[in-house]
Chain A
């Protein structure tokens, strides 16, 4: 169990090389990949998530922890093919058409990956149809829409309307986030959730997964 704590603590420090090494050590000692994921990596990410919410740590810590998480997942991934713990769900994300600001969207992607989700990042200035096409092709459970501008908020509504037209609105959860949004606007356009930051996006996605 001590090794699991070390993995968790190294991850919390954002020490990717240590997570890599300790994950290999744990496998050599015969620990199951799924146990390393659950008791080491995910425990560490949960601690960082709580500390971030309490403002005890800040964004850089979370980003480095998420990158350390990838170091572990890179090793465990091939060993856990088909294990549903590894691919907890698929999320298509992008900054909507007309907007090229992508720092917020990138943060959401890093945090979702760090939480064990498969993220398909369509980049910035993404046309409404592309979100829906990719969500259908990839059989994604979630679509995440980002914007920094007030002028591109209506594009989010277009994506949601298109999801309805193409018949995936009841199957795919659509999450929206960005500075010019709030819960009321998200509800008005029919988004399934409004996420106020990257960590909150992870909470929203987790919440939907736990309910399904």
Chain B
């Protein structure tokens, strides 16, 4: 496959996959346990999910490594399995890809507040991300996706780790923002402008946002990013804020709704789109069709 960043600079819009957690739940994962335990015990589930998203039209498939930093894994007593857990997740996706999709390693927050707000030391957080990434580079990853970050210091440490371990692998870093009277801010108060400056300075190739309150919310965030950067933008909305129903959370934004709103998101100059919490292969199919209509002249 052509190198991802070349395609983006040539103007291609690339579709990424949707949520992992909800897919895992349907296949027997019990929230409360580490979602990454599946990587060791049932890797065939991960291959199955990757195949579904690939068939739906996603060209970027993320491995189940979101909580794969040893600091996060230590909360489940799994930190000594960091290497095996991360490698197995990437291997599972790699197994269903035949030069027809990019395999991404997902890097999420370490699950602890950093000093001076909490106890986690920056050196340890950096070392944790380095260890996680070292476990996957040899297996073969096509991009690194740092996501759902709210603390810019932590996000920058993850970017630095990726640049240390895998300087040549395309690197996306996305944060999660709320809408406040002071503009879009993460829980830790980071503005889009701060995020652009910090993440670009640390060496990210692609910036953006994931999760949040659905596609319209993320469309506003994309516009704000475009005020501050010309870098490739990756935007992955969740399917709205879940409503609590007796059988568990229900996400309000249907595939048709997200597909209908996709055009407006793309008009903000977004280069990679996909889904976050609550999105499914059906959402990705609908987005693929909407994307085809958007990019076909007269379509």
Give the interface size bracket for B toward A: 20 to 34
A60 CB contacts on chain B under 8 angstroms? 117, 188-189
Interface of B is mostly: loop
Given the complex, which residues of B lie within 8 Å of A149, measured CB to CB?
31-32
Give min CB distance, A181 to chain B, whole Å: 8
Known contacts A55-B180, A58-B185, A150-B244; decide if A99 and B32 are in contact (CB<8 Å).
yes
Instruction: Pick from B54-62, B86-94, B108-116, B223-231 the stretch touching chain A.
Output: B108-116
CA distance A151 to B180 in the complex (A): 30
| B69 smallest CB distance to A (angstroms) | 14
A103 at the interface (CB under 8 A from B): yes
Give the Cβ gap from B154 to chain A, nearest Cβ, in Å: 12
Q: Report A-chain residues with C-beta under 8 Å of the C-beta of B244.
A: 150, 180-182, 184-185
User: Which residue of A55, A64, A185 is within 8 Å of B185 (Cβ)?
Assistant: A55
Interface status of A59 (Cβ within 8 A of chain B): yes
- Do A59 and B188 touch across chains, with their CB atoms under 8 A apart? yes
Indicate whether B76 reaches chain A with its CB closer than 8 angstroms. yes
- CB-based nearest B residue for A14: B116
Task: Answer yes or no: B248 CB below 8 A from chain A CBs.
Answer: yes
The answer on a CB contact under 8 Å between B32 and A58 is no
Contact A100:B31 (CB < 8 A) given known A59-B188, A106-B113, A182-B244 = no
For the complex, give the distance between the alpha carbons of A99 and B111 in Å. 13
Q: Which residue of A lies closest to B245 (CB)?
A: A150
Q: Are B76 and A55 in contact (CB under 8 A)?
A: no
CB distance from A180 to the nearest CB of B (A): 7
Decide if B249 is an interface residue (CB 8 Å cutoff).
yes
Question: Is B296 close to A, CB under 8 A?
Answer: no
Q: Which residues of A contact B297 (CB under 8 A)?
A: none
Binary per-residue interface labels of chain A (172-212) against chain B in the complex, 1 for a CB within 8 Å, 0 otherwise: 00000000111011000000000000000000000000000
Task: Give A43 to B187 CA distance when docked, in angstroms.
Answer: 24
Which residues of A in the span 77-107 have a Cβ within 8 Å of any Cβ on B? 98-101, 103, 106
Whether the pair B117, A58 counts as a contact (CB closer than 8 A) is no
> In the complex, are the beta carbons of A58 and B189 less than 8 A apart?
yes
A149–B249 Cα distance when bound, in Å, is 10
B298 within 8 A of partner (CB):
no
B212 smallest CB distance to A (angstroms): 14
One digit per residue, 1 when the CB lies within 8 angstroms of any chain A CB and 0 when it does not, for chain B 176-188 equals: 0000111001011
Q: B181: which of A54, A103, A150, A180 is its contact (CB, 8 Å)? A: A54
* A residues near B113, Cβ cutoff 8 Å: 63, 103, 106
Q: Which residue on B lies nearest to A197, using beta carbons?
A: B187
The complex places the Cα of A99 from the Cα of B181 at a distance, in Å, of: 33
Within 8 A of B (CB), among A45-61: 54-61
Interface residues of B in 238-264 (CB under 8 A from A): 244, 248-249
Cα A164 to Cα B30 in complex, Å, equals 29
Contacts of B249 in A (CB 8 A): 150, 180
Q: Contact between B189 and A59 (Cβ–Cβ < 8 Å)?
A: yes
* In the bound complex, CA of A54 to CA of B277 (Å): 28
B31 close to A151 (CB less than 8 A) = yes
Does residue B118 face the partner (Cβ distance < 8 Å to A)?
yes
For residue B274, give the distance in angstroms from its CB to the closest CB of chain A. 22
B116 lies within 8 A of A67 (CB): yes
In the bound complex, what is the Cα–Cα distance between A151 and B29 (angstroms)?
11
When the two chains form their complex, are residues B32 and A98 in contact, meaning their CB atoms are under 8 A apart? yes
Can you name 22 A-B pairs with beta carbons within 8 Å? A55-B185, A56-B182, A58-B189, A59-B187, A59-B188, A59-B189, A60-B189, A67-B116, A99-B32, A100-B32, A100-B76, A101-B111, A103-B111, A106-B113, A150-B244, A150-B249, A151-B30, A151-B31, A152-B32, A180-B244, A180-B249, A182-B244
7 closest Cβ pairs, A-B complex? A58-B189, A55-B180, A63-B117, A98-B32, A151-B31, A149-B31, A55-B181
**Sample of 8 further A-B pairs with CB below 8 A, known A61-B189, A106-B113, A181-B244:** A59-B189, A67-B116, A98-B32, A99-B32, A100-B75, A100-B76, A103-B112, A103-B118
